[in-house]
Chains A and B, each alone.
Chain A
Amino acid sequence: GQSLEQPSEVTAVEGAIVQINCTYQTSGFYGLSWYQQHDGGAPTFLSYNALDGLEETGRFSSFLSRSDSYGYLLLQELQMKDSASYFCAVRGYTGSGNTGKLIFGQGTTLQVKP
């Protein structure tokens, strides 16, 4: 089976840096994605890592270590608007290959305080 673990809540102050970790267990692996969801809103895609290393997009970066089955989302220069839930996700996999589905973690609620 496949499972993902991420912390349920993280709190940080405006202007700080915060890291949201995600560990995964999968029988096959094609990449780790991150999504952001503001309260009650639609999830939106943030980043995708297929290979080891750091991907940077503005204030957000995402890291992957396939050997450790681990990734993280790094948010820099936190702003109040970054208060949201963040989900990691991996592609589903069966013995016959990539299912094309995403399996989501349970989400991390980030609260940014003034």
Chain B
Amino acid sequence: DADVTQTPRNRITKTGKRIMLECSQTKGHDRMYWYRQDPGLGLRLIYYSFDVKDINKGEISDGYSVSRQAQAKFSLSLESAIPNQTALYFCATSDFSGGRSGRVDEQFFGPGTRLTVL
């Protein structure tokens, strides 16, 4: 079974609709992230959470909100979807091990959700 799962995998919606993307992980990691990927723009951080009580905005949080329901679950919501939110969305997790340990920067990504807003 996959360690990081995302639902749905594909979604087509209309402008103005509310939509939620869900992420679950079985890795036992405290840290979870939501990224957006657009062609030629790499991965941009939307929100991140270091534990259930800690949620932080990333580079491009406008138009998005998140909820960390449990250590294993982190959902991303688009309150009123617009066409320029059409993108590939990734959830990721990581395990903080402190210091300069090489494992600190390893993030584990889910399979992605391809979202189209018409």
Contacts and interface: CB of A to CB of B under 8 A. Distances in A.
A100 to B, nearest CB: 6
B48 A106 contact: no
A41 B114 CA distance: 11
Contact of B102 (A40, A50, A87): A50
B40 A30 contact: no
Interface residues of B, number: 27
Nearest to A31: B105
Interface string B83-118: 000001010000010001011111111111010000
Interface residues of A, number: 25
Given A42-B90, A100-B96, A101-B48, A48 B42 contact: no
B45 interface: yes
B102 to A, nearest CB: 4
A23 B44 CA distance: 18
Contact of A42 (B41, B96, B102, B110): B110
A48 B43 contact: no
A43 B102 CA distance: 17
Given A31-B100, A48-B102, A50-B100, A100 B42 contact: no
B58 interface: yes
B42 A40 contact: no
A4 to B, nearest CB: 9
Interface of A: 8, 30-31, 33, 35, 40-45, 48, 50-51, 87, 89, 91, 100-107
